[in-house]
Chains A and B, each alone.
Chain A
Amino acid sequence: MDVLTAVVTTFLIPMGNNSIINDSIINNTQPNYYIDCNSDTKLNNEYSNLYTELFSYRELQDNWDGYKGVKPSDEIISTTERFIDILKCNKILKPKIMVSGNGEIGLFWKNQDKYIEIDFDEAEYLSFFYKMNGTVYGEDDVTINHIPEKLYNAFNSLITNSSTKSENASIISNFDSTNPTIFLT
């Protein structure tokens, strides 16, 4: 595997077929939807330390960063957890995670000059921005019930703009990126 292929591959963990994607249980007809991807051992292993880091934020003390930082609320942690579940079930590469002194939690992906960040500062909602090839785009306070179309397309761009695609990367390129509700059952 050459270096570029390796980089591209790291953006996606091995994916199944479209039927698996459509089997992702994100039922937005229920107020408290439930996603069950827990039977996928490889996914669980890939994501496990992300959850561990997320839950560690519960243990932060007041002024944890020396600059009067506060810890994230339980609602923010729960909202982030649920969106990570969505990412995991859609087999999107595990993001990195960070916490801010104002109690906001962020997920991000960085690949050379491309960057995507999703932030959680309010229960049930996310904000995001991405920078791709010099273009910056963002949206505020979007429901976490599905991956926003622009964000979804940005995930695709991380792959399709690369000169080399991995086999796994081509699978996400076959998604109907114009229809974000593909993730809903």
Chain B
Amino acid sequence: MSYEELLLLEGNKQSIYSPSVVLCDEIIARVLFSPKHYLDGEVLPSAFQQIFDSKGGMSILRLNYSFQESLSKTIEQLEKDGVKYTGYTCAKVKDIRAILTEKGYRVFYVLDTATKDKLGHADIFLIRLSFEESGLTKKAFKNYIRFEISQVFNELIVKEEA
């Protein structure tokens, strides 16, 4: 898909379970399963590596839609694999969508990817084209973008005993 086509996806519901498209004024959360991903009250850029490694997007939960229920199900699913939930970090969707390359191209798009069990599930996807438009070397760009997205996740909620 072209850059324009990817952005157009944001205007259409992507799942039959989705309550709505993801709006710019929404807040979303990324669930954390390791204390290695935050330090001194801030989430670290390394917590967002999955956005580059995943073939799909990076899973997030929408705070406006069954958040506690979706969070509990996410924790339940992942703790089966032996990891421990440690908290979550929040960002405004408009801040994620405002991350641009030097030439003004969007780097991420955000889609509603609700499932039957998690109505508030969504994903952040990387626009691969932005690599070529960045003017940076590949690894530098990747790590720079990872830093930029960590900066918009500026609220950290850590589980008390984590």
Contact = CB atoms under 8 A, between A and B. Distances in A.
B5 to A, nearest CB: 27
A138 B139 contact: yes
Contacts of A138: 136-137, 139-141, 143-144
B46 A67 contact: no
Interface string A57-86: 000110111110100000000000000000
Given A98-B45, A139-B137, 11 more contacts: A65-B34, A66-B78, A98-B39, A98-B46, A101-B53, A102-B49, A117-B143, A119-B143, A127-B137, A127-B143, A140-B137
Contact of B140 (A65, A69, A102, A139): A139
Contacts of B36: 60, 64-65, 98-99
B37 interface: yes
Contact of B49 (A104, A128, A129): A104
Interface of A: 60-61, 63-67, 69, 96, 98-102, 104, 106, 108, 115, 117, 119, 121, 127-129, 131, 136-141
Interface in B111-162: 136-141, 143-144, 147
Contact of B139 (A98, A101, A121): A121
25 contacts: A63-B83, A66-B32, A66-B34, A66-B83, A66-B85, A98-B36, A99-B46, A100-B49, A101-B50, A106-B45, A106-B143, A117-B45, A117-B144, A119-B139, A119-B143, A121-B139, A127-B139, A129-B141, A136-B140, A137-B140, A138-B137, A138-B141, A138-B144, A139-B137, A139-B140
